[in-house]
């Protein structure tokens, strides 16, 4: 209740207590041989902005980054990985908890929230060659590469998250709404952030934040820093932010 005589007094409302956030960012690389790999065009900007926004609020942040050329935000612990399997191991350690208190771990309790902004490769070569792949030396005009599925990090962690917040991302060409909703339900996430290919490498983006409760919030043509601040608010309100 407002104090009618409290003009000029500082508010007694306490800021939210700091929380432990795990954020993933960037692409993964799946090695074909020592000089070639499968990857994608993710710049990591969105994940790095989420980590920055959370750290600015005073949260403890572990940022698990694929191969990107981005500066680590102040106050953020960064763990660099390459492959999807590397990232899965780092996410399990940081978010689900580990006996270790080394860099990249919050200890046994793990994290309070996970933001899976990384563009994780779905496939990897079945066999990594020890030397350079020389398919053209055989004179063939067509070569094939056998692939196997990578682990599904979001689904793996989502099944074990309990009441903790998990936010996934879905980059879709076209509308992609039905696919993003299916991903939300299939992977036990609390929210899915839907965007499209124009977000890759850009400083501005348009997203739809889809909640498991059926909520939907559209954020149109905002900087990734603005979107990141809105997303970080999810783990304080546990509901979609106001437009």
68-102: pLDDT as tens digits: 999 999 999 999 999 999 999 999 999 999 987 77
Instruction: Note whether residue 189 is domain-resident.
Output: yes
Task: Give the helix ranges, DSSP H, for the chain.
Answer: 45-56, 84-91, 153-158, 177-186, 224-232, 234-237
Structure tokens at 201: 């490498």
Instruction: Note whether residue 72 is domain-resident.
Output: yes
Q: Confirm whether pTM is higher than 0.85.
A: yes
Instruction: Note whether residue 68 is domain-resident.
Output: yes
Which residue range forms the structural domain that includes residue 57? Answer: 20-120+145-237
Instruction: Note whether residue 139 is domain-resident.
Output: no
Instruction: Note whether residue 115 is domain-resident.
Output: yes
141 phi, psi to nearest 5 deg: -90, -15
pLDDT at 137: 64
Instruction: Note whether residue 217 is domain-resident.
Output: yes
State how far the Cα of 144 lies from the Cα of 158, in Å rounded to an integer.
34
Instruction: Note whether residue 129 is domain-resident.
Output: no
Instruction: Note whether residue 109 is domain-resident.
Output: yes
pLDDT tens, residue by residue, 38-66 = 999 999 999 999 999 999 999 999 999 99
Catalytic residue numbers read 40
Count: domains in the chain:
1
Domain containing 64 — which CATH number? 3.40.50.10300
């Amino acid at each position: 209740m407002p104090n009618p005589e409290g003009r000029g007094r500082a508010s007694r409302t306490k800021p939210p207590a700091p929380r432990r956030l795990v954020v993933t960012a960037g692409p993964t690389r799946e090695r074909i041989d020592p000089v070639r790999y499968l990857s994608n065009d993710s710049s990591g900007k969105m994940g790095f902005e989420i980590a920055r926004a959370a750290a600015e609020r005073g949260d403890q942040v572990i940022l698990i980054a694929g191969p990107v050329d981005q500066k680590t935000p102040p106050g953020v612990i960064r763990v660099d990985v390459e492959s999807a399997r590397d990232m899965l191991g780092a996410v399990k350690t940081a978010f689900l908890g580990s006996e270790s208190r080394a860099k990249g771990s919050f200890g046994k309790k793990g994290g309070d929230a996970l933001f899976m902004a990384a563009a994780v490769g779905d496939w990897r070569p079945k066999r990594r060659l020890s030397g350079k792949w020389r398919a053209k030396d055989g004179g063939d005009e067509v070569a094939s590469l056998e692939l196997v599925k990578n682990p599904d990090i979001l689904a793996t962690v989502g099944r074990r998250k309990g009441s903790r917040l998990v936010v996934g991302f879905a980059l879709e060409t076209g509308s992609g709404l039905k696919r993003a909703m299916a991903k939300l339900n299939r992977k036990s996430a609390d929210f899915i952030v839907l965007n499209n290919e124009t977000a890759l490498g850009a400083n501005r983006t348009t997203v739809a934040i889809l909640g498991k409760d059926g909520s939907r919030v559209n954020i149109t043509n905002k900087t990734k820093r603005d979107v990141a601040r809105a997303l970080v608010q999810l783990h304080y309100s546990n509901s979609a932010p106001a437009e």
